Structure 1
């Protein structure tokens, strides 16, 4: 039986931890992952965070905008000896199911998940359902989009941003990226607009291979940068990215 990905070579630009998970899935479907982590993610332990972490009782809602936000929130909580039990009395919203799955690993489950896994839908549906949510803590990264803060401001809601991780360009991957781009490959994948920005910072040129984006925000960035063949799944997950690659391969082979 022919494996669904048919030994296609797929560049994975996600940061190391997330990239390895993505690569494993690609291998399981018969593809050949090529890991080139274009970003690095580190815990953000700025002084302001320590102050906010000591005042978690003040908030009614915690909103996690990514799975990384969940992971690094708990890393900070552990570092500063903040009890995980603090979340038991809170309402929790997450941007999507992957973020909720990460939350469940720590023993919690979201009270609110939007129907489409992006910040635009989260802000629209959350504000429609909860007109008076009380004090909100946005748990995010330094490169998170301003959609949620902007919409919360428009609604005159009180919120605080807690930046638990910082994303930076992984300059150590520059030589590897440019070497890989000279070889034969079939697809390049991007799981955030930041990975696309990092790609052009490190390589500086466009490739004519299909570009697979995790969601519409990343797709818009890819279009802005000039990619012509862009594949974006309707569900914004890594698994759905693999599904759309398989669909593309099948359609190409039946032309």
Structure 2
């Protein structure tokens, strides 16, 4: 029996040790090379930005939940809290918050659900690089306040992309950072966590991207396994 070479997969973000081990045990050679870094804004810097009237909180990132955690007891929790993605919802539920998730894990589905409920005074806890244009999607009549609770910084560097069979992007900012100094020679398959990231990848010139139905790391892992197996 001939030993086949393990597919070499590049993740352009940091992976937890257990996730890295699980992928490697599934028959892949995996490298995690972060192309972005994060820093959190202390609550004292953003609490004053919150409007007096709020009926909805929105979270499109687990990192926004982490940034909110130290201040949760000092905040008035609104009647409606939305999360894009099950993992983000789990982080909020761990703070004893009741959360609603849109049927599809994207900003457009979230905006539709909020319109159906006629929610008007909305706070989006986000990073400096917001996912999607919520203001445009929600339309007139909605008072949207974007509160920056963490910052994403690009960390570009050069790699030999011909060494990889697959390249994985978890955010549009990772695509931007990677593209500053790297090109894909056409042999590596591109994987994206969600549609917003896929759009950024296509704008950067990456073709035939594979994006799972659900924007979760588990679904993304399944897509990688299905493609190479």
User: Under a length normalisation based on structure 1, what TM-score does the superposition of the two structures give?
Assistant: 0.78
Q: Any idea what the Cα deviations from partners look like across 1:114-154, whole Å, max 9, x if unmatched?
A: 111011111122212x11x24221111110134212223x2
Q: Using a 3 Å threshold, how does the CA distance of structure 1 residues 147 and 105 change in structure 2: closer, same or farther? A: same
Q: Using a 3 Å threshold, how does the CA distance of structure 1 residues 146 and 221 change in structure 2: closer, same or farther? A: closer
Uncovered stretches (5+) of structure 2, i.e. residues with no partner: none
Cα deviation, residue 247, structure 1: 1.3
Match among 80, 101, 104 for residue 90 of structure 2: 101
Q: Using a 3 Å threshold, how does the CA distance of structure 1 residues 162 and 218 change in structure 2: closer, same or farther? A: same
Match among 206, 218, 223 for residue 184 of structure 2: 206
Partner of 2:115: 127
Partner of 2:9: 10
Match among 149, 161, 166 for residue 181 of structure 1: 161
Match among 67, 76, 91 for residue 72 of structure 1: 67
Q: Please say if 1:32 is aligned against 2:10.
A: no
Q: Using a 3 Å threshold, how does the CA distance of structure 1 residues 47 and 242 change in structure 2: closer, same or farther? A: same
Mapped partners of 1:150, 1:96: distance in 2: 21
Q: Please say if 1:193 is aligned against 2:182.
A: no
Partner of 1:225: 204
Partner of 1:167: 152
Match among 135, 142, 154 for residue 149 of structure 1: 135
Partner of 1:44: 41
Secondary structure, in 3 states, of the residue corresponding to 1:241?
Answer: helix
Verify the 8 A CA contact 1:19 1:35 in the aligned structure 2.
Answer: no
Cα deviation, residue 61, structure 1: 1.3
Cα deviation, residue 239, structure 1: 1.0
Q: Any idea what the Cα deviations from partners look like across 1:144-194, whole Å, max 9, x if unmatched?
A: 134212223x231122111111101124xx1xx42x535x32211001111
Mapped partners of 1:24, 1:108: distance in 2: 31
Secondary structure, in 3 states, of the residue corresponding to 1:230?
Answer: coil
Q: Using a 3 Å threshold, how does the CA distance of structure 1 residues 8 and 109 change in structure 2: closer, same or farther? A: farther
Uncovered stretches (5+) of structure 1, i.e. residues with no partner: 1-5, 251-255
Verify the 8 A CA contact 1:123 1:147 in the aligned structure 2.
Answer: no
Mapped partners of 1:242, 1:26: distance in 2: 8
Match among 50, 60, 64 for residue 55 of structure 2: 60
Partner of 1:242: 221
Mapped partners of 2:54, 2:24: distance in 1: 43
Higher percent of residues as helix: 1
Verify the 8 A CA contact 1:135 1:159 in the aligned structure 2.
Answer: yes
Q: Please say if 1:140 is aligned against 2:120.
A: no
